[in-house]
Structure 1
């Protein structure tokens, strides 16, 4: 029987961090996939996760080389296929026939790919601002515009002076110039929530090495990017109205291509509705997860 616990478990021969909470509810486990690539669940555990645990069995899982998980001997060999196999191995470890998935940002794209590859192991899927690939042109254009808007003073001047027409190279150049305040304005609608998020990052002591992002950047997008209509599972698609990282227009296109999708837009959020409108986000997720399969 599944029990509340925190552990490093072997998935694909790499010890990866998992925390299980809320098993007293005996529900279908809700496996949460973080963003990045290279992120962690520290802040989510202490915001939306804490409320979800009051109603559901929640499984926090940090991908190989991310957060509190160990890295493979050769991180450059990491791939979408390996990440998918890790999630399926996690479901096996849980000892259940199927799970619900909740993925935010990069984790949303990963959740959809898992549901496409092995639908019999997945019941419902929740994706918040799902991203499939770091080099998606629409996302890159939105990030360039968003960071340019968020920049102030000398940072804004340096961005304006950039003479780099290539889309990907220009985005990389802008990211190399921006400061903490610019990133916070870019990712959040409310600067107070941005401060809370950054305080959580500092408290965690966890860092994004960039290894996973570098490995994935050398690969084509996962197949799900072109096969969304093949996902025959109920999907809740969530977006912040002011998301400049993964724009609402992109998220809307994802929802339109999914056969059983419901789109919910959070009016007072940017990239993190789970932080900026936590209680409403959790209520929305719980209502969806308790809905019939259709």
Structure 2
């Protein structure tokens, strides 16, 4: 018998298995670290006097991530305010703005508590729309100084229009014009429109489970306690018609260099911690009650099939709003994202409406 040799071989086999497990664990840790912490950037734009930066700056005592892109930094500044709340567009927006970058210097930023501007262990429970407005105005001044320009075209999207309208009303001298894309109107009226649309579509599709869910929610939606389920609005085409906005996020998170794994965690935490409170504020203090006049030109750009923020509610708000110039533009083939779903038409409209006429010299 050779029990000693068998015992030694057995111990050697166990040690080899342990080494392999440790090696695989180390490799997994390296891969996880690379995914979580790899450096982030935005690709360069190859043209004279271009700008393409992704960086963190201080705004009112908090670090904010800003992305600036354009083929000529002397082109008019177009500053976008993302929606959600908490839904940064930096992870994927480049694919939709290549035409705009030829005519404008485009600024995107992650709002306080959102995306790359979310900071672990900070308390966002008392975050208000007024704080976001003050941050936006401070950012505007920084961008004007940095780019040596006197004014900015302000564009809000979805909940970003709530912040944008308040900022434009508070400091009209900061902006040359305001663009509301997927413009927020009366929150409760918009939700009633969304509910009616989704219920009609569910009945047409004979989707009994969806109908039952909506009927259960009806009293809560009618009282303003709940919102029409966004999953159902998406299912029936009230969020997007020409793009898949959720897939854009997944692809942006995984494939684009602007976000790493840690930023994705920040994004998820930011939505979880800030969205409910800010939406409650929007519902309690609807724009038609607090901003009825702008001192600058105002443009509402809506997708005809938008039921995230309904066209009907936006139109009602537009009718009562006073401004030196105002236009209501409908993109017939879009829902909540006309600037992406019909990006060519949007870029053409922007160039025709503003172009170099908004250019200022520093």
Give the TM-score taking structure 2 as reference length: 0.70
* Aligned mate of 1:247, from 301, 310, 328: 310
Match of 1:116 in 2: 169
* Aligned mate of 2:274, from 206, 212, 215: 212
Shift, 1:275, TM fit: 2.1
Residues 1:52 and 2:97 are matched in the alignment = no
Match of 2:124 in 1: 75
User: Residue 123 of structure 1 aligns to a residue in which SS?
Assistant: strand
Shift, 1:264, TM fit: 0.8
Match of 2:156 in 1: 103
* Aligned mate of 2:329, from 240, 264, 272: 264
Shift, 1:180, TM fit: 9.2
Shift, 1:143, TM fit: 2.2
Match of 1:167 in 2: 221
Match of 1:62 in 2: 110
CA RMSD between the two structures:
2.9
Match of 2:3 in 1: none
Residues 1:147 and 2:198 are matched in the alignment = yes
| Unaligned residue ranges in structure 2 (runs of 5+) | 1-48, 254-263
| 2: CA distance, partners of 1:155 / 1:41 | 33
Contact 2:85-2:275 within 8 A present in 1 as well:
yes
| Unaligned residue ranges in structure 1 (runs of 5+) | none
Aligned length: 285
Match of 2:13 in 1: none
User: Residue 124 of structure 1 aligns to a residue in which SS?
Assistant: strand
Map 1:269-280 to 2 at 5 A. 269-280=334-345
Contact 1:188-1:270 within 8 A present in 2 as well:
yes
Give the TM-score taking structure 1 as reference length: 0.84
Superimposed CA distance per residue, residues 87-126 of structure 1 (whole angstroms, 9 cap, x where no aligned partner): 1111222214321111111112211111100111111111
